[in-house]
Amino acid sequence: MLVSIGDIGVTQTLVVTPSGHLPIGEVHWMFTDMSRTMSRIPVWAIVCTIIFFVFCFLGLLFLLAKEEQTDGSVQVTVQGPGFVHTVQLPVSSPHQVMDYAQRVNYARSLSAAAQ
């Protein structure tokens, strides 16, 4: 296997999925990012704000702390003549989304080279 994307495996000549396999030159790839990244105030900052607000108003500065949280999934679809396979992969960071996108782009380049 040169690259694997969920349950999709890609070799130099074939795309292998649980639905079957097809020559790599006959497939098309689709990548859909359905994740979202939110910025929020962490719980520890809220607790510190409440504790330090009693002693001085500087405790409000803890409300400036932010953390990013990513959730959702990405969807990868491979299509060929009479063949479609879709896999949905959960993600928890922007780095995972980028990793899956780069894997799909590599698989696309292998498909383009085989045509």
Ordered DSSP codes for 21-88: EEEGGG-EEEEEE--EEEEE--HHHHHHHHHHHHH-GGGGGGGG--EEEEE-EEEEEEEETTEEEEEE
As assigned by CATH, the class of the 3-35+72-114 domain is: mainly beta
pTM: 0.81
pLDDT tens across 5-46, in order? 999 999 999 999 998 899 999 999 999 999 999 999 999 999
pLDDT of 55: 76
Model pLDDT, residue 59: 82
pLDDT attached to residue 74? 97
pLDDT tens by residue, 36-81 = 999 999 999 999 988 888 777 778 888 899 999 999 999 999 999 9
Residue 88 bridge partners (DSSP)? 75
Domain(s) labelled CATH 2.30.29 in the chain stretch across 3-35+72-114
